[in-house]
Amino acid sequence: MRFNPALTSVFGRKMVPMSLNVETRAPVVLPDPEPLRLIDDTGRAVPVKRRQGFELPSDERLLELYRAMVVARRWDTQVTALTRQGRLATYPSALGQEATEIGSVLALEKTDWLFPTYRDSIALMTRGINPVEILSGFRGDWHSGWDPHAHRTSTQSTPLATQALHAVGMGMAAKLRGDSVATLTFVGDGATSEGDTHEAFNFAGVWQTPTVFIIQNNQFAISVPLAKQTRARTLADRAIGYGVPGYYVDGNDAAAVHAIVTAALDRARSGDGPTIIECVTYRIEAHTNSDDPSRYRSSSDVTEWKSRDPLERLEKYLVSQKMLTDAVRESINTDAEKMAELTRDEMNAEVSHDPMELFENVYAAERPGLREQRDFLAAEIAAEAAAAVGSGVAS
Amino acid sequence: MAGALNAALRDELAADPNVVVFGEDVGPLGGVFRVTDGLHAEFGEARVWDSPLAESGIVGTAIGMAMYGLRPVVEMQFDAFSYPAFEQIVSHVAKMRNRTRGRVTLPLVIRIPCAGGIGGVEHHSDSSEAYWTHTPGLTVVTPSNPADAYSMLREAIRSDDPVIFMEPKSRYWAKAAVELPVQTEPFDRAVVVREGTDVTLIAYGPTVKTALETADLASEEDLSVEVIDLRSLSPFDDETVGASVRKTHRAAVLHEAAQFSGYGAEVAARVTEREFYHLAAPILRITGFDIPYPSPKLEEFYLPTPERILNALGTWEWEA
Ligand SMILES: Cc1ncc(C[n+]2csc(CCOP(=O)(O)OP(=O)(O)O)c2C)c(N)n1
């Protein structure tokens, strides 16, 4: 595997590494403007000379990716359906983005840490977090439902780009302790305009933290297209300004995403610093269930992107490799249906909420003032219950 | 006091390998107020270092470090320059424990040199405590003297809760004969720093000194002033303050920050709600004016002085 091996042509002339006359701080070059692709739209392997030095993952690995993507899509569709039925308050779907989400997350080791956003529920599911725990926030039970330490996966961050700094900080801590741990974070295309994205890229570059940034370019920030976020040729181009290797990747090619993220994570764990990877994909669903995309994009665009479907592409390749026998397909579908069913069942079950928990875990230390407010609420609830019993209202 | 803070950092760095110190100019320079003086040389680049110049980045990365088990102590160079970190502090530092049902603990300290009185040009004299105290999940403390500075900073670093540690700049050069290490009251306790019988002056950080001077001046006029140093702004020590007010029946709260929606409003409301029948007069707020912090040549008109405080006490509707 090579990193930014070639000098890249921009504006028709050869670009040289960034520092001719200044002291060389980091000899990085602009990413190749041709997105890295290992399997093309038609499901055929890209010729070796166009692979930018990356190797196609093994057929077994590709099958594993495919299986996880099928399960993820089925699950995402199920959750969207449950949301339409009113079981969830909101759900930001990642339909169409499976190659980026799954290709990235399956490259992580158990000991690595993931710092996701609200968009990345399918990545969490693939990382092995229980669906109800993932959906706790979207159903409205509790902000975040799983134990981050148990899954080495932080909470889904809603304040855009803030989690990228957490990933850098944890990477720094791991580096200081000498642990071979990498951190990976997703950042949306819109979120790259936030100051925290800049600060995270820069801190990671200066500190050389073991951090992999996945810019998940799904073309829209709610309604706002990428052209209104940046004048840059690609978002990956920014990397050069931080002295960090940057890659521009076809985010609908699971093979390419997985190969490059695996390489970047290896690099991170061996102490060679951060990598910024832009994965170009498309958000097929609305931003969330309460969004109306017909106000800002045409359905022909969506149709066009559906024709570049990441699952179909990998499927075609695997069929050509004779990896997708009927038995394999069936087992994949069974897995997917099982996950959907489990989620349906768990999400349809009623959960009880303890209002007294509101006052727990605000602080580690006991607070008398909070105890008073807790007692107040407890008394109010008790009084209501007593009144209901008194008036014969069943509770 | 800067020396006491420096000693506290040194002793915690020595006591716990998980403690790290970083921020702007805190390395070889030792911080613009020299609070981290010598620490870089003593503990090395892996424990004490200069970060890139970005406050959200400093706090945001400290969060990730704390999640991994470190105990970061970060410095915001001046009060007004903590504002770029507002989102990280309010949305993550304060909420992470609660959002994760107690599974994630963030033991980090954000040191903020605060308040005025040192002839600083604009943006160097803000009192931003109310922004932080209004945020559930944060512990906000402020020492007024060297002994507390040492003891409270060590306690803050050992706390499993994130702490906003506000250091009154005007007290950095305050001297006191203190033998270190020293352990003062736990930092969630307010302390009566001067006993009196007629009125309670509730002060914190930079205004404790002003309150003590006021008490001196008042004694010449036969007015006995009790002075409380709150030390912790969140949590608030209702007990100590309540006991004093039940004794004196009158209270005034002092701060440099503007009055409207300021910390004094909380103090006045709380104490009134709890001690109404013991109060002989409404609780006064003697504070900065509701204007942006003034230029150095005008700050003397803004900051509450002992004379102004005494006059304010004199205008009270005293009830026998
Ligand atoms: C700091 C901040 N500003 C605004 C929002 C509201 N908001 C939520 S999602 C979103 C769009 C983000 O777009 P992008 O980063 O491209 O990610 P995507 O939703 O497409 O995955 C906005 C504006 C927010 N969550 N945080």
Residue whose tokens read 């290490």: B181
Residue nearest to ligand 1 atom 12, measured at CA:
A221
Q: What is the pLDDT of residue A116?
A: 98
Contact A200 B60 (CB under 8 A): yes
B93, amino acid identity: V
Of the candidates B44, B38, B29, the residue with the CA atom closest to the CA atom of residue B10: B38
For B22-62, the pLDDT digits (tens) are 999 999 999 999 999 999 999 999 999 999 999 999 999 99
**Residues 6+ positions from A74 with CB-CB distance below 8 Å:** A336, A337, A339, A340
Query: What's the mean per-residue pLDDT of chain A?
Result: 93
Inspect the interface and report whether the beta carbons of B65 and A173 lie closer than 8 Å: yes
Residue B134 clears pLDDT 90, i.e. is over it: yes
A to B CB pairs, distance under 8 Å:
139
Q: What is the CA radius of gyration of chain B?
A: 19
State whether residue B134 is helix, strand or coil: coil
Residue type present at position B295: S
- pLDDT band for position A3 (50/70/90)? very low
Say which of B46, B61, B97 has its CB closest to residue A165: B61
Give the mean pLDDT of A311-316: 98
Reported as a single tens digit per residue, the pLDDT across A252-307 is: 999 999 999 999 999 999 999 999 999 999 999 999 989 999 999 999 999 999 99
pLDDT of residue A389: 87
pLDDT of residue B245: 98
Overall average pLDDT of the B117-142 stretch: 97
The single residue of A74, A238, A283, A313 carrying the catalytic annotation is A283
DSSP letter string, B113-158: EE---S-PPTTSS---HHHHHTSTT-EEE---SHHHHHHHHHHHHH
User: Percentage of residues in chain A with pLDDT exceeding 70?
Assistant: 92
Nearest CA to ligand 1 atom 11: A221
- Condensed to tens digits (0 to 9), the pLDDT of residues A60-71 reads 999 999 999 999
Q: What's the burial of B272, exposed, middle or buried (CB within 10 Å: 0-12/13-18/19+)?
A: middle
In this prediction, residue A150 carries a pLDDT of: 98
Q: What pLDDT, on the 0 to 100 scale, is given for residue B225?
A: 98
Q: Report the pLDDT averaged over residues B284-294.
A: 98
Q: B314 pLDDT band (50/70/90 cuts)?
A: confident
Beta carbon of A282 within 6 Å of any ligand 1 atom: no
Q: Which two tokens stand for residue A217?
A: 């370019």
Whether the Cβ atoms of residue B79 and residue B89 lie closer than 8 Å to each other: no
Q: Is the pLDDT of residue A343 over 60?
A: yes
Q: Mean of the pLDDT values across residues A360-382?
A: 96
Q: What percent of chain A shows pLDDT beyond 90?
A: 89
Q: Is A242 a catalytic residue?
A: no
B99 contact residues in A (CB cutoff 8 A): 142-144, 155
For residue B297, the one-letter residue type is K
Q: What residues form DSSP beta bridges with B192?
A: B228
Confidence at residue B315, expressed as pLDDT on a 0 to 100 scale: 77
To test the pocket of ligand 1, the residue of A222, A279, A282 to mutate (highest count of ligand atoms within 8 Å of its CB) is A222
- The A residues from 124 to 143 touching B (CB cutoff 8 Å) are 142-143
Residue with token string 């945001």: B60
Give A351's contacts (C-beta < 8 A, 6+ positions apart). A141
Residues of chain B with CATH 3.40.50.970: 2-171
Interchain pair A177, B96: CB under 8 A: no
Of all atoms in ligand 1, which is nearest to the CA of residue A117? 21
Ligand 1 neighbourhood includes A251 CB (under 6 angstroms):
no
Residue range(s) of every CATH 3.40.50.920 domain in chain B: 191-313
Identify the band that residue A383 occupies on the pLDDT scale cut at 50, 70 and 90: very high
Of the candidates A334, A263, A289, A279, the residue with the CA atom closest to the CA atom of residue A101: A279
User: A147 in contact with B at a CB cutoff of 8 Å?
Assistant: yes
Q: Please tell me the predicted confidence (pLDDT) of residue A25.
A: 63
Query: B-chain residues within 8 Å CB-CB of A351?
Result: none
Closest residue CA from atom 26 of ligand 1 = A159
Question: B136 contacts in A (CB within 8 Å)?
Answer: 362
pLDDT given for residue B317 in this prediction: 61
Are the CB atoms for B98 and B110 separated by under 8 Å? no
Tell me the two tokens of residue A86: 């009113």
What are residue A279's phi and psi, to 5 degrees?
Answer: -110, 120
Band (pLDDT 50/70/90 cuts) for residue A156 is: very high
Q: What is the pLDDT of residue A391?
A: 78
Confirm if A175 and A135 have CB atoms less than 8 A apart: no
Q: Which of A15-24, A358-367, B124-133, B201-210 has the lowest mean pLDDT?
A: A15-24
Q: What is the mean pLDDT of chain B?
A: 97
pLDDT per residue as tens digits for the range B65-82: 999 999 999 999 999 999
Residues in chain A with CB shorter than 8 Å from the CB of B239 are: 368
Predicted-assembly ipTM surpassing the 0.85 threshold: yes
Cα-flanking dihedrals φ and ψ of residue B317, to 5°?
Answer: -80, 95
Percent of chain B past pLDDT 90, that is, above it, reads 98
Rg for chain A, CA atoms, rounded: 23
Domain spanning B2-171: which superfamily? Thiamin diphosphate (ThDP)-binding fold, Pyr/PP domains (3.40.50.970)
pLDDT in tens, A28-85: 788 888 999 999 999 999 999 999 999 999 999 999 999 999 999 999 999 999 999 9
- How far apart are the CA of A220 and the centre of ligand 1, in A? 9
* pLDDT confidence of residue A393: 58
* DSSP character at residue A216: E
Dist. CA A119 → ligand 1 center (Å) = 9
DSSP assignment string, A50-107: GTTTPPPPPHHHHHHHHHHHHHHHHHHHHHHHHHHTTSSS-----TT-HHHHHHHHTT
Q: Which of 3.30.413.10, 3.40.50.920, 3.40.50.150, 1.10.150.170 would CATH assign to domain B191-313?
A: 3.40.50.920
Q: Which of B47, B59, B68 to mutate to test the interface with A (most CBs of A within 10 A)?
A: B68
Q: Would the CB of A211 count as within 6 Å of ligand 1?
A: no
**A229 CB within 6 A, ligand 1:** no
Instruction: Note the CATH number of domain A48-348.
Output: 3.40.50.970
- Answer whether A215 contacts ligand 1 (Cβ < 6 A): no
pLDDT in the model for residue A5: 36
Nearest to A122, CA basis, from A103, A140, A147: A103
CB of B226 within 8 A of CB of B194?
Answer: yes
Q: pLDDT confidence of A350, banded at 50, 70, 90?
A: confident
CA-CA distance, A218 to A293, in Å (whole number)? Answer: 14
pLDDT digits (tens, 9 = 90+) for A106-151: 999 999 999 999 999 999 999 999 999 999 999 999 999 999 999 9
pLDDT given at position A26: 65
Sign, CA dihedral B11-B12-B17-B21, equals: negative
